[in-house]
Amino acid sequence: MGVFEDASRLSVRTDTLNIEYFDLGPRDADAVILLHGFPYDVHSFGEVAPLLVEAGRRVIVPYLRGHGGTVALDDAGRSGQQAAIGADLVEFMTAIDVERAAFAGFDWGARAGCVAAALWPERCTGLVSVSGYLIQDIAASVRPIDPHIEAGLWYFYYFATERGRAGLEENRQEIARVIWTRNSPRWSFTDEELARAARAFDNADYVEVVIHSYRHRLGLAPGHPRYADLELRLSELPSIAVPVITLDGSADGNFPATDGSGYAKHLAGSHIHHVVADAGHNLAQEKPQAFVDAVLELDRMGERPS
């Protein structure tokens, strides 16, 4: 049995969601919130979480909106836009009475961390973000990118169609299999690991949240009015002032590793970048020790609260 199978599932209500989460380690320790991506779930941190607890951290792992037992309370809770998932993180922290925490995530989770760190820096002690600064420049979404990268983003365009919506509804696990395989060509995941994660996709909000996320980021769907002011602020690509460690996997099948300089102008605080050998997009599950080391490295950047 894994750490999440053995731990108690908790839940807390915010204005828009009932959020399911795990809370591990001593409650009075420095907190780190681990944030998974799409199409993944909390089990991406199955090895990371106990290592961080062993290192003396309080480790909090929520299911993102549309995943697991995190369910919408209203229409705003079914938005997939970047402002929504960033606001979720801060509202979740308030609901569980955590004033400040480190944020560490990949994919959607890294984006949520970037958004929250940029707009609410007083709530963030430091950020670990796989693939760098991930606040979306939606105004620039009409500009094409390298065709080899575009090809790997097939699901962005698939989900822009009603055929894609129907496909996601019918084939949640198999779409995840294709994305996992392309995103992480050196990761030999098992059918059991995929099926375990896919249980988190059996959520009534899953399809709506995912479809809206990809349509919104391409400028094909409006955001929810609740998040209009936040999206306006994000359109300016705000800087992140807290300490940041960015990670790239050298074997990410869709997002080639960089030296981190391309987005350094958006990181106003201290910044360290690492390329993790042989890691793909799901870096926390593929190379858990490298991910843990990055979280602990934040301590050595001299910005921890007293």
Residues of the chain with pLDDT under 50: 303-306
* Residue 83 CB-density burial (10 A; 0-12 exposed, 13-18 middle, 19+ buried): buried
Structure-token match 């003396």, residue found = 56
Q: Which amino acid is at 278?
A: D
- CATH, residue 191: 3.40.50.1820
Res 302: pLDDT: 59
User: 306 lies in a domain?
Assistant: no
Residue 178: which domain range?
3-301
User: 153 lies in a domain?
Assistant: yes
Q: pLDDT tens digits, residue range 38-70?
A: 999 999 999 999 999 999 999 999 999 999 999
The pairing of beta strand 17-24 with beta strand 71-72: antiparallel
Q: What is the token pair recorded at 152? A: 């790997």
Res 305: pLDDT: 40
Domain count, the chain: 1
Q: pLDDT tens digits, residue range 170-220?
A: 999 999 999 999 999 999 999 999 999 999 999 999 999 999 999 999 999
